[in-house]
Amino acid sequence: MARFAATRALSAALTLLVMTAVAFVVLQVLPGDPAILVLGMDADPTAVAHLRATLGLNQPVPVRYGLWLWNALHGNLGTSLQFGQPVAALLLQRLPLTLLLTAMAAFIALVIALPLGMAAAVRRGGLVDLLGVAVAQVGAAVPSFWLAIILLLAFAVRRHWLPAGGFPGWTQPGAVISALLLPALALGAARAAILTRLLRQSVSEALRQDFVRTARAKGVSPQRTLWRHALRAAAIAPLTVFGLQVGELLAGSIVVENVFSLPGLGRLVLYAISMRDLPTLEGCVLLIATLVMTANFAVDLLYAVIDPRIRSAG
Amino acid sequence: MAGWRSFPAAVALASTAMLTLAACGATAGGTAASASGSSAAPASASASASAPAASPQTLRMAIPGDPVGFDPYLTADANTVALTWNLYDQLVTVDTKGNLQPDLATAWTASADGKTLTFKLRSGVSFADGHALTSADVKASFQRMLDPATKDPDASDYKVITSIDTPDPSTVVMNLSSYDAALLSDLALPFAAIEPAGVDPATLKNKPDGTGPYMLKSWTPGQDVVLEANPHYWQPGLPNIPTVDMKIVPDPATQIADLLAGSVDILPGLSGQQASQLKGQSGIQLEQAPSGNIQIMAINNARAPFTDVRVRQALSLGVDRSAVVQGAWFGYATPVGTFLPPNSPYYAEQPAPYDPAKAKQLLAQAGLPNGFSSTLDLPSLYPVHIQTGQVIASQLAQIGVKLKLNQVEWATWLSQDYGKRQYDLTIISHTGRLDPDTLLVRFTSTYPYNYENYKNTTYDGLIAQGRTSQDPAQRKQIYAQAQSILANDVPAVFLDVSDNVVAIRQNVSGWQWLPLAVDQLAQVKMQ
C-alpha cells in the first residue's frame, strides 16, 4: 500500500512538472508581448521596454522557467502580469465557483443518465430506449457553447426565470445556485448523453450474464436484480468515464463560464492565454491538473468500494 | 430518416451562425452599466417603479472585461480609461461638441510665445479621501506622469512640459520646451487625470483617489466593479445615481441577453450588429453619435507590389465603402476617404469613389494586368474587422486582387503586424483624440508605430508645422493639405468612422456621448 502511494505521488509530481513545462513552452512559442498587451496599442515604446524589463521578460526562457519553478516549489506562484495581484489569491477567488459548477454539472449528468440509461437497458427497443438513444445522440452532437446560448435565450431572455449571466457573489446562496443552473445544464448535457449511452450498453450486457439469470432463478425480484446485481457489475465502465469526464467538465467550463460571464477558473485560463499572462496560466494549469488527478484518484478508490476483487488485489 | 440525417447539419449551421454572432459583439469597445437593486430581473420598468423597494439606487451596467487597474497613468487601455473617467478630473474637459470646458481649472491663459500656460484652480474641490485640491497635487501629478520610472505609456503626449511652478495654492504654471498645439486638448484626456500628491503610487492601481463624481467601492476581478458617489464631489447635485454596478460580461450575446432580461439597465459600446439586434425592441432605446474610431485597411508600403502608389490607389478604388458600412457595421458607420473623423473641425472631405474599372486600369499601368495575390491579416479579437475583410476580399477579387484571409490572434497581431511590421495588408481601427495631430502623426516616418512604413517628407514637414502653429486657421489649412496627400498616396485604405451606440432601458435617461472613448455617468438618471 505504501509503495502504491509512493508511485502514485511520484507520477503525480512528474505529471505536474510536465504540464507546467508544456504550458510554459506553448506560451513562449506563441508570438505576443505581455508588456504591450498591458500598456496598449498607443503605448510609448520606451515605456513598453521599461515594463518588459520590470516583468523579467528580457531574461532567457529557461532562466524564467527555472525561476518560476523555484518560487512555485516554495509556495510562491508569483504575481499576475495583468491584474497585479498574487496568482494564489486569484486562484482561490475563482476556484469555488468552478468547483461548484463542475459538481452541479456532474450531478445533472448523473440525474439524467442514471434513470434514462437503466430504463433503456431494461426495455431495449421500447419507447424509453428510443428516448434514451435520442438524448444520447443529440446531447453528444450539440456543442455546449451553442446549448448555452439556446438555454440563455429560452430561460433568461424569453422567460425571465433565471439570470442571463454574471455572478451575484457568495453572500446570496440562492442566487448563486440559480446563476449556475443554466451553465451547469449546458455543461452537464453532453456528459449525460455519453453516460446514458454507456449505462444502457453496460447494464443491458450485465442483464444477459449468467449471474443475473441465477439471481432471477433464485427468486430475487427484478428490481433488486437490476439495482443490486446488474448495476454493480456494470458500473465500472461508466465510473471510469465519469472520472475522465471531470477533466472534460473543467475544460468545458472554459467555454461555458465565458458565455455566462462567470468569474471561474475557466475564464481565468482563457484570459491568461490571450493576455500572455504566464504566472497566472501556470497557476491555473497546476490547479486544474491537481483537480483532475484528485478526481481520478477518487475514482480508483471507488472501484475498490464497488468491486471486492479490486479491494483484495489492492 | 432523412430528417435525422440532416439534423447534425442543421445544428452545425446554427452553431456557426451563433459563433459568428457571439464573435461579433466582442468588438464593442465600451462598457455598460446597470442600475437597480436586486438580481431578480424586473420584467417591466413600470413594475419596478411602483414597487417601493425598487427605488433606483443602483445603475447596472455591463462592461466587456476587467479594467487593467484604476491608475490612469499606468494604462492606455480604452475600457479602463472609459471607467476611470468617472473617478478623476482633469484640468480641462470637453463638451459633447468637443469644445474645451473648465474642469479643475476655471480659467487658463497662454503666454505670447505659447511656452507658458497658467491655470487658475477651482476652489472647494476635494479628493475622495476628503483632502482639498491644491496646486501641489497638480504639480505632483504631472511630475509622476513624466517620471520615466512611472512608465506611463501616454507620457510622450505631455513631454513638452518641462517644469511646473506653483506660485500659490490655486495657481499652476506649466513651462513648456516648445509650443505644442495639441497639448491643451491632451490635458482634457483621461490620461491627464489629477491624482493626489504624496500618494503611494503602488496603491493607486487598486485604490484610486480622485476628485471625480464616483469613487471605487469594490473590484472583484471577473465579476464586477462597483462605484459609489464621491460625497466630496464639487458639482452640486451630481452624480444623480448613488451606486453603479458594472458587471463584467465578455460575451456580446450575453450582454444583449442581460439587457433584454432586465438584469442590466445600460449597455454602452455596442457593435453595429448588437445595435441592429436591439433596434426596435420594446423598452430599449438606442442613442448614437459618431465616434473618433476610424477603420482602415493598412498597407505595408515597404512590400511589393504596394511600393507602387498605383497599386495602393487601385485598392482604394476597388473597395465599396458603403457595402462595408452595411456588411460589417450594419449601417452604424460613415464612409470616409481620409484619416480624420467628419466631426473633427479639421476634417477635409476627400473623395472615396468605388471605381473598379479605373482600379483595373491602374493595376495594368503598374504592370499587373492580371492582378496579384496577397494576404489580409484580420485580428480575430475584433469580429467587425473580420467581416470587413470578407466584404473587401470579395470586392477586390473583382479587380483581380486575390486575398487570402488570415485570422490573427490579438497578441500575435500586436507583436507581428503592429510591432514587427510583418504583414501585407491588415484591417484595424485607430481612435482619434481631440487634436488632429494624434491621428495624422501616425503616418510620419519617425512615428514608432508607423507600421505602414509610409515615408513622405512633405507630409512629415506639414505635421511638424501643424504641431507648432498657434493660428487655428493656418492649422486648418495645413491639415487639409496633409489629408489630401494621404488620399492621393493611399498609405492605407481609409474605410469608415463607426458610431458610438448605447442601449438604454426605458427607466434610464441622460446619457451623453463625448467625443472621447469614455462612459460619462454623472449625468445619467433613473426613474
- pLDDT, residue B13, reads 35
- pLDDT, residue B191, reads 92
- pLDDT, residue B5, reads 34
In a domain, A80, yes or no: no
In a domain, A81, yes or no: no
Cβ of residue B7 closer than 8 Å to a chain A Cβ: yes
Domain end point (choices A73, A104, A130): A73
Instruction: Mention every residue, 6+ apart, whose C-beta is less than 8 A from residue A167.
Output: A97, A176, A179, A261, A262, A263, B222, B223
* DSSP three-state, residue B478: helix
Which chain B residues are within 8 Å of A260, Cβ to Cβ?
251, 254
CB contact under 8 A, B76 and A263: no
Whole-number Å distance between alpha carbons of A307 and B456: 80
pLDDT band at B29 (very low <50, low <70, confident <90, very high): very low
User: H-helix or E-strand containing B176?
Assistant: strand B171-176
Pick B411's closest partner by Cβ from A37, A39, A149.
Answer: A37
Cβ of residue A174 closer than 8 Å to a chain B Cβ: no
Is the model's pLDDT at B359 over the cut of 90? Answer: yes
- pLDDT, residue A170, reads 81
Instruction: Mention every residue, 6+ apart, whose C-beta is less than 8 A from residue B361.
Output: none
Give me the long-range contacts of B197-205 (CB less than 8 A, separation at least 24).
B197/B134, B197/B136, B197/B137, B197/B139, B197/B140, B197/B141, B198/B140, B201/B71, B201/B144, B201/B150, B204/B69, B204/B70, B204/B71, B204/B73, B204/B74, B205/A84, B205/B69, B205/B70, B205/B71, B205/B74
* DSSP three-state, residue B175: strand
**Torsion (CA) B431, B434, B437, B442 in degrees, nearest 10:** -10
pLDDT band at B229 (very low <50, low <70, confident <90, very high): very high
Q: Give the residue ranges of chain A where pLDDT is below 50.
A: 314
- pLDDT, residue B15, reads 37
A150 and A240 belong to one structural domain: yes
In a domain, A265, yes or no: yes
In a domain, A133, yes or no: yes
- pLDDT, residue A313, reads 54
A257 and A170 belong to one structural domain: yes
* DSSP three-state, residue B495: strand
User: Is beta strand B33-35 parallel, antiparallel or unpaired with respect to B224-229?
Assistant: unpaired
Q: Are B259 and B283 in contact (CB under 8 A)?
A: no
User: Is beta strand B58-63 parallel, antiparallel or unpaired with respect to B105-110?
Assistant: unpaired
Q: What is the CA radius of gyration of chain B?
A: 24
State chain B's mean pLDDT as an integer: 87
Cβ of residue A167 closer than 8 Å to a chain B Cβ: yes
Identify the CA nearest to A146 among candidates A187, A98, A196, A197: A187
In B, minimum Cα distance to A264 occurs at: B222
pLDDT digits (tens, 9 = 90+) for B63-119: 988 888 899 888 777 788 899 999 999 999 999 888 899 999 999 999 999 999 999
CB pairs under 8 A between A and B: 169
Pick B254's closest partner by Cβ from A143, A260, A263.
Answer: A260
In a domain, A86, yes or no: no
- pLDDT, residue B394, reads 96
In a domain, A87, yes or no: no
CB contact under 8 A, A143 and B15: yes
Which chain A residues are within 8 Å of B260, Cβ to Cβ?
157, 164
Cβ of residue A74 closer than 8 Å to a chain B Cβ: no
pLDDT digits (tens, 9 = 90+) for B386-395: 999 999 999 9
**Torsion (CA) B153, B158, B161, B165 in degrees, nearest 10:** -80
Range of the domain at A205: 93-313
Q: Which residues pair with B101 in a beta bridge?
A: B93
- pLDDT, residue B134, reads 96
A193 and A50 belong to one structural domain: no
Whole-number Å distance between alpha carbons of A49 and A36: 9
* Count helices and strands in chain B by DSSP H and E runs: 16, 20
In a domain, A186, yes or no: yes
- pLDDT, residue A1, reads 59
In a domain, A83, yes or no: no
- pLDDT, residue A314, reads 45
Count of domains observed in chain A: 2
Place of cell 439524467: A112
Which chain A residues are within 8 Å of B423, Cβ to Cβ?
none
Other beta carbons within 10 angstroms of residue B302's beta carbon come to 12
Is the model's pLDDT at B52 over the cut of 70? Answer: no
CB contact under 8 A, B414 and A45: no
A51 and A108 belong to one structural domain: no
Whole-number Å distance between alpha carbons of A286 and A283: 5
Cβ of residue A85 closer than 8 Å to a chain B Cβ: yes
Q: How far apart are the first and last CA of chain A?
A: 7
Cβ of residue B263 closer than 8 Å to a chain A Cβ: yes
CB contact under 8 A, B411 and A164: no
- CA-based nearest distance A221→chain B, Å: 38
- pLDDT, residue B56, reads 56
Which chain A residues are within 8 Å of B78, Cβ to Cβ?
40
In B, minimum Cα distance to A274 occurs at: B411
A105 and A55 belong to one structural domain: no
**Torsion (CA) A198, A301, A298, A121 in degrees, nearest 10:** 20
Cβ of residue A244 closer than 8 Å to a chain B Cβ: no
A69 and A108 belong to one structural domain: no
A109 and A221 belong to one structural domain: yes
Name which of B20, B58, B200, B223 to mutate to probe chain A: the one with the most chain A Cβ atoms within 10 A of its Cβ. B223
A142 and A248 belong to one structural domain: yes
For A45-78, the three-class secondary structure string (H helix, E strand, C coil) is HHHHHHHHHHCCCCCCHHHHHHHHHHHHHCCCCC
How would you class B434 by CB atoms within 10 Å of its CB: exposed for 0-12, middle for 13-18, buried for 19 or more?
buried
In B, minimum Cα distance to A155 occurs at: B261
CB contact under 8 A, A163 and B156: no
- pLDDT, residue B442, reads 94
Which residue has better confidence, B32 or A242?
A242
A271 and A299 belong to one structural domain: yes
* Range B243-269 average pLDDT: 90
Whole-number Å distance between alpha carbons of B393 and B406: 11
Interface ipTM: 0.70
Which chain B residues in 327-366 lie under 8 Å from chain A, judged by CB atoms? none
Other beta carbons within 10 angstroms of residue A227's beta carbon come to 12
- pLDDT, residue B44, reads 36
Pick B263's closest partner by Cβ from A43, A149, A164.
Answer: A164
Whole-number Å distance between alpha carbons of B314 and A312: 80
Q: Are B269 and B316 in contact (CB under 8 A)?
A: no
In B, minimum Cα distance to A138 occurs at: B8
CATH of the domain at A139: 1.10.3720.10
Which chain A residues are within 8 Å of B262, Cβ to Cβ?
160
Is the model's pLDDT at B3 over the cut of 70? Answer: no
**Torsion (CA) B187, B193, B196, B199 in degrees, nearest 10:** -120
A140 and A58 belong to one structural domain: no
In B, minimum Cα distance to A42 occurs at: B76
pLDDT digits (tens, 9 = 90+) for B364-418: 999 999 999 999 999 988 889 999 999 999 999 999 999 999 999 888 898 899 9
Whole-number Å distance between alpha carbons of B42 and B261: 8
Which chain A residues are within 8 Å of B154, Cβ to Cβ?
42-44
Backbone dihedral angles phi then psi of residue A22, each to the nearest 5 degrees: -65, -45
- pLDDT, residue B474, reads 94
Q: Are B302 and B421 in contact (CB under 8 A)?
A: yes
Pick A30's closest partner by Cβ from B11, B206, B411.
Answer: B411
A11 and A152 belong to one structural domain: no
pLDDT band at B312 (very low <50, low <70, confident <90, very high): very high
A205 and A56 belong to one structural domain: no
Cβ of residue A42 closer than 8 Å to a chain B Cβ: yes
* Range B235-250 average pLDDT: 93
- CA-based nearest distance A96→chain B, Å: 14
Pick B419's closest partner by Cβ from A33, A40, A164.
Answer: A33
Which chain B residues are within 8 Å of A152, Cβ to Cβ?
253-254, 257
Is the model's pLDDT at B14 over the cut of 50? Answer: no
Q: Are A281 and A85 in contact (CB under 8 A)?
A: no
Backbone dihedral angles phi then psi of residue B319, each to the nearest 5 degrees: -105, 125
Which chain B residues are within 8 Å of A153, Cβ to Cβ?
257
* Range B472-484 average pLDDT: 95
- CA-based nearest distance A68→chain B, Å: 22
Is the model's pLDDT at B40 over the cut of 80? Answer: no
Q: Are B516 and B81 in contact (CB under 8 A)?
A: no
Per DSSP, the residues of B39-87 read SSPPSSHHHHHHSGGG---EEEEEESS--S-S-GGG---HHHHHHHTTT
Whole-number Å distance between alpha carbons of B122 and B105: 6
* DSSP three-state, residue B432: coil
In A, minimum Cα distance to B448 occurs at: A45
